[in-house]
Amino acid sequence: MLSQMSQQWQQQDAVECRPEKMDLAAKLDEQANSPQPPLKLQHSPQHSTGGHSAFSSPVSACSASTRLPDSDSEDFILEQRFGSRSSSSFSEASHGDITEAEVPPCSLFSPPRLRLHGAGVCDALETDLAWFRRCHEVSFSPWIEGKFATVGRLAKSVHGEVRYLTDEHGTGVVAKVMPTAKVEESCSAATNERLVWFSDEEVSTVEDPCNEIAVLTYLQRSAEQCGHLLKLLGVYQDASCTYVVTEYCDGGELFELVAYGDALAAQEVRLYVSQLLRAVRHLHDHNVAHRDISLENVLLRQGNCVLMDFGQAVRIRAMDGVELRYFAEAGKRMYRAPEMYVPRESSVQVVCPSDASPGTVVQVSYDRCRCEVLLPHDATAGLPCRAEPYGYAAAPADIFACGVSAFVLMLGKPPWSIARDSDPTFSFIRRHGVPALLRQWRAGLEPGPAREEDSLLAAMLRVNPKERPSIEECQRNAWLCGPACGEQVAKKAGSS
């Protein structure tokens, strides 16, 4: 059932991505055409015998618990006004001698800043989708016939196909094979997602093969590695195709295990959820949001989860710590957070929430969606107003997708087909909460008090993204921190 529903949702996604034609607001044209002074990115000094250098994440030099200032927080405002006691910018730290060739320094461009409040400035809408591929040089090696032997095709991909290969030693690897023309075309695509979303341009897919290669390269060059993320082995090109070679995972998709296998034991569910969160924690610690987390994108290698497919990955924050906003409907429909359904209009008529303040970003109901908008400065609580669709933050959307994945692992079926008010189950959860749905679905089967894991599901699947926990808070949930989970994880790690 899950497999049939997944195919149906993917077909519906392709239809829903056809845009309506909208006129760009005059201020968008003004921002796009305004001059942008260059801002040079610092690169790490050469060190060690190899003399190579590598870029680090804007946040990788910070501890996992570091809280970055929001554009309208008091500390950020004080720093902007008076030059505070500490800088909010990040230093570029070397991640060690792990690159194959010296990476030259790159130039970044400072986008025009938009005022969210009178006292605070931010460039949250200037997403710069080309940041990874511009700042992390990718080396393409020539494809040599005979180095790899093709065994067979594993699956189709958006831009090509996935093949199973063996190298000269007989070791199995996987290659995503794409026409080089498509890869080069993605390298010249628009970099401001907001401008594209509010234009009349058709948005058929968010997958960016060039960006995926750059993100994989960046993660592979990081000093800290995560065993639950797919590892890049090399990128090759011949006269017509580009080959992205990664490690082979023998267990297939986690989705297939749930859809076609027996019901998972409680210990297995806890192990898989814990490992998925560890993978996402590593990404978020390195300023990367995945935007396409799903059980279909989680592979199993020797019984352990490996997260793959970074074609829709983006930065979480800009270099100055400002949380970036995105607009496209990324990811698969069942896993997509409610705020990711952004209207393709430069302004919409909404009712100002009773607890909202003018000039702030709030979640509202519009066209049976729960989108986030920037209220005008003359907005009055409880009255209609024209507000600007303000996209969504990518990190909370990842948390929501993890919550849907955990829900399917625990219950064996999806919570809804789409996180919009038109879906009866989502509408029920929005009004009554996840625990109420779980009580109904378990009625007559397992009567008794709520389970320990229910609190984690309820938190991760909150409709309002501002109310969802961070990835660190999810990992601190009592259900994941129990002694049984720790013993199981240690056992699995020891056998891998």
pLDDT tens-place string over residues 113-144: 343 433 334 589 988 899 998 888 888 899 98
Lowest mean pLDDT among 20-29, 252-261, 292-301: 20-29
Burial call 3-20: b when 16+ CB within 10 Å, e when fewer: eeebeebeeebeeeeebe
Q: 222 pLDDT exceeds 60?
A: yes
Most confident among 55-69, 88-102, 314-328, 473-487 (mean pLDDT): 314-328
Give the per-residue SS3 of the chain.
Answer: CHHHHHHHHHHHHHHHCCCCCCCCCHHHHHHHHCCCCEEECCCCCCCCCCCCCCCCCCCCCCCCCCCCCCCCCHHHHHHHHHCCCCCCCCCCCCCCCCCCCCCCCCEEECCCCEECCCCCEECCCCCCCCHHHHHCCCCCEECCECCEEEEEEEEECCCCEEEEEEECCCCEEEEEEEEHHHHHHHHCCCCCHHHHHCCCCCCCCCCCHHHHHHHHHHHHHCCCCCCCECCEEEEEECCCEEEEEEECCCCCEHHHHHHHCCCCCHHHHHHHHHHHHHHHHHHHHCCEECCCCCHHHEEEECCEEEECCCCCCEECECCCCCECCECCCCCCHHHCCHHHCCCCCCCEEEECCCCCCCCCEEEEEECCEEEEEECCCCCCCCCEEEEEECCECHHHHHHHHHHHHHHHHHHCCCCCCCCCCCCHHHHHHHHHCHHHHHHHHHCCCCCCCCCCCHHHHHHHCCCCHHHCCCHHHHHCCCCCCCHHHHHHHHHHHHHC
* Distance separating alpha carbons of residues 242 and 238, to the nearest angstrom: 7
For residues 291-312, average pLDDT: 96
> Higher confidence at residue 328 or residue 16?
328
pLDDT, position 3: 56
* Distance separating alpha carbons of residues 221 and 402, to the nearest angstrom: 26
pLDDT, position 2: 56
pLDDT tens-place string over residues 97-116: 333 334 344 433 333 334 34
pLDDT tens-place string over residues 434-450: 999 998 888 755 555 66
For residues 426-439, average pLDDT: 92
For residues 36-56, average pLDDT: 38
Q: 325 pLDDT exceeds 90?
A: yes
Q: 25 pLDDT exceeds 70?
A: no
Residue 88 near residue 321 (C-beta atoms within 8 A):
yes
For residues 383-403, average pLDDT: 97
For residues 278-299, average pLDDT: 97
Given pLDDT bands bounded at 50, 70 and 90, which one contains residue 489?
Answer: very low
Q: Which residues contact 224 (CB under 8 A, 6 or more apart)?
A: 60, 282, 285, 286
pTM of the model: 0.74
* Distance separating alpha carbons of residues 209 and 219, to the nearest angstrom: 15
Lowest mean pLDDT among 55-69, 149-163, 309-323: 55-69
* Distance separating alpha carbons of residues 166 and 154, to the nearest angstrom: 13
For residues 376-398, average pLDDT: 96
* Distance separating alpha carbons of residues 373 and 63, to the nearest angstrom: 31
pLDDT, position 1: 56
Phi (first) and psi of residue 202, to 5 degrees = -75, 130
> Higher confidence at residue 19 or residue 357?
357
pLDDT, position 201: 84
Q: 339 pLDDT exceeds 90?
A: yes
Given pLDDT bands bounded at 50, 70 and 90, which one contains residue 72?
Answer: very low
pLDDT, position 449: 64
> Higher confidence at residue 207 or residue 42?
207
Give the per-residue SS3 of 47-84.
Answer: CCCCCCCCCCCCCCCCCCCCCCCCCCCHHHHHHHHHCC
